[in-house]
Amino acid sequence: MKVLAAMSGGVDSAVAAARAVEAGHDVVGVHMALSASSDQRRTGSRGCCTVEDAQDARRAAERIGIPFYVWDLAGDFHDLVVEDFLSEYAAGRTPNPCVRCNERIKFASLLERATVLGFDAVCTGHYASLRTEGPDGAISLHRSRYLAKDQSYVLAVMGPEAAARSLFPLGDMESKDAVRAEARERKLGVSTKPDSYDICFIADGDTRGFLERHLGEAPGEVVDADGQVLGTHRGTHGFTIGQRRGLGIERPAPDGAPRYVVDIDPGTRQVVIGAAALLSTRELVATDLVSFEPIEPGRRVHAQIRAHGEAVPGIVTAIPDGEELLRVQLDVPLRGVAPGQTLVLYDGDRVLASATLERRA
């Protein structure tokens, strides 16, 4: 196959590209320049698509022996990921920008360009597995063998069509140490490069500061569940459901128990705080369903709402039909559910579907 290898400049994508070549594919490497600043520098493990990253990707491609290009997707990234992140927080929701990046950049914009140029598939360094199953050869997405780094959660939104045109060569790796060891064996200079973490386009890690700079201040009240004013804030976008610190309250709860953000209302500019018990729910309600296979009410599933969170057992009670939304009844209460989070449904290690949480029941 003719394969386009997305090379971030890190060790994972470099080893993935090398493995694709070793598997006999005709591979071309491409680095996606996603930063609006062409001279952005890297700070330790923070930052995205910096000058150093592009240079590291180029050197890895040269070592592997494949052609290499840099594609400027900064405009797409800003419009489809960064702006979405800002608008979701402004609406009192909690988005996952990594999910949006995989959906809209790596497996939409990138795959679209690859198709136009005649490539058969896109290869990335994600930790997930693809399998061909059943008599019709359907492609299914599974958790990585290395569960600590599993990225099937953020990939679930890609859907079966994009999955059928993707390669994840690291899905069978046992550990990150094994990936680094293979990189050393292949004499790839990125073998010791630190992993990036946090939100890639917020290089200093200050999410609240980033939101304030872009959304401005919109002062409001911090209230309890009865509407009693306990303090003030500079903007609802500075809060997420389940947050405990930085609440801006002037006095502790009467019983001395910790209090958490339990609701956010951008319309009234109110942040509601309350006891931990108010954070738990046993029903998930979601929209924007992307399924890898048909799902019917009564299907037993495991529901996951965070990239490395626990998958909680439950049962599908309703699927999107007209005005009806996806509903999942959980066997046990789940804490910290927030609108805008991504819900992924699993059957064992196999991804069934992805959706966006709308509200707690």
Assessment of whether the complete model's pTM goes beyond 0.85: yes
Compute the Cα dihedral for 35, 38, 43, 49 and give only its sign: positive
Higher pLDDT, 22 or 43: 22
**Token pair belonging to 310:** 């626990």
Q: Is 200 an active-site residue?
A: yes
Q: Which domains does the chain have, with CATH numbers?
A: 2-192 (3.40.50.620), 217-274 (2.30.30.280), 280-360 (2.40.30.10)
- Report helix, strand or coil for 327: strand
Tens of pLDDT, residues 239-279: 989 898 888 786 767 777 888 999 999 999 999 999 888 88
Choose the most confident range, by mean pLDDT, from 132-141, 237-246, 310-319. Answer: 310-319
CB atoms within 10 A of CB 312: 18
The answer, yes or no, to whether residue 306 has pLDDT greater than 80, is yes
Tens of pLDDT, residues 176-201: 999 999 999 999 999 999 887 668 88
The C-alpha R_g of the chain, in whole angstroms, comes to 22
Round to whole Å and give the CA distance between 215 and 237: 8
